Amino acid sequence: MSASPLSLLLRLLLLFSVVSLAPPRSAASSCGGGGGRPVVFNFGDSNSDTGGLAAGLGFPVNPPNGRSFFGRSTGRLCDGRLVIDFLCQSLNTSFLIPYLDSLAGSKFTNGANFAVVGSSTLPKYVPFSLNIQVMQFLHFKGRITELASAGSEVPVSVDEFTKALYMVDIGQNDLADSFSKNLTYSEVINTVPSIIVEIKTAIKTLYDQGARNFWVHNTGPLGCLPQKLSLVEKKDLDENGCLSSYNSAARIFNEGLLKLCQEMRSELADATITHVDIYAIKYDLIANASKYGFSSPLMTCCGNGGPPYNYNIRVTCGTPGCEACSNGSQHISWDGIHYTEAANSIIASKILSTAYSTPRTPLNFFFRGRHARVKCI
């Protein structure tokens, strides 16, 4: 007899919501003192996954991933640091640990990362859709509260959940999956409202749990990814060689997300909701690649197949037969989907400039007056 949807959900939660929260010897000692450190909770996909897929499913993320900064694979789909890593460094806090990393123990002193490669908002109740990530957070917060009530020391104090920053960076896979199912452009666009609703539900759920500070990234130019360009047969290219229809869908999603953030700022009057235009940043990087020191902006560094995109879906980065370029700093695309550390560094610096934020809120605004001035990376 087949299992019911509810029983399947419970199995998933038991399997994927386990985290070690053994009390640390000193909750304040790991990063500059208790109460002074920034606390960040991140929800998203591979663009901000710092090792969740590898930790949660044991999925191998092989070298040369990680070669540029870490000198080894850390579960990130990049040659080095992701945008979120640079943002954490700007706050003088350590890199976010994946929630699913059972070996992390009590080290979640600056928050946790719920993002996992391949995540989307739909379908719901599958690892690791946005609502599952939020449910994992609820489990995390509930366990912290339980331990604190029992008098145990905890990695994050209960009041820090309200002061924390909640980052949301998801939606790219929803659009990509729709196109991969050969839906028409109109059919893809018709899915956008459902994606927006799921993001709204996530933000509202977090708000109801006390969250007040939100940092929301829109999605990048999907039609400029070498993977998409190599797989699509009928190419409707713009002046920079990107797929017009894919990018148009991304912009429509982004318009809906911006409107959502504006509406929720009015609805949740005591919340700060910052929307960041990642699309504009990334498209500028591609359109003006030479200005930033990049060559062949639509060509993959770690790939197989040669020009123009160097992407082969059968031989992807980290698999036998795939080679990485000698100098990733000259490339925007690392593996055909994700960006190089060099590109991520520029993207992060533009985010931190506030020029692409609505409203123009500095990232450290959320932690002024209690920002630990100690680097512990």
Pick the catalytic residue from 94, 275, 338, 357: 338
Q: Which two tokens stand for residue 139?
A: 């489990």
Pick the catalytic residue from 48, 129, 335, 357: 335
Tell me how many helices (H) and strands (E) the chain has: 11, 8
Which pairs with CB-CB distance under 8 Å and at least 24 residues apart come from 231-239? 231/313
Is 345 catalytic? The answer is no
**8 Å CB contact between 251 and 224:** no
Asked whether the bond before 128 is cis by omega within 30 degrees of 0, the reply is yes
Buried b / exposed e along 262-298 (16+ C-beta atoms within 10 A): eebbeebeebebbbbbbbbbbbbbbbebeeeebebbb
Number of CB atoms found within 10 A of residue 102's CB: 12
Is 338 catalytic? The answer is yes
Largest CA distance in the chain: 63
Write phi, then psi, for 268 (nearest 5 degrees).
-110, 80
Number of CB atoms found within 10 A of residue 325's CB: 19
Name the strand (E) or helix (H) holding 262.
helix 244-267
Q: Which two tokens stand for residue 283?
A: 């498209």
Pick the catalytic residue from 30, 46, 230, 357: 46
Is 149 catalytic? The answer is no
3-state secondary structure of 302: strand
Name the strand (E) or helix (H) holding 357.
strand 357-358
Number of CB atoms found within 10 A of residue 321's CB: 9
Active site residues: 46, 335, 338
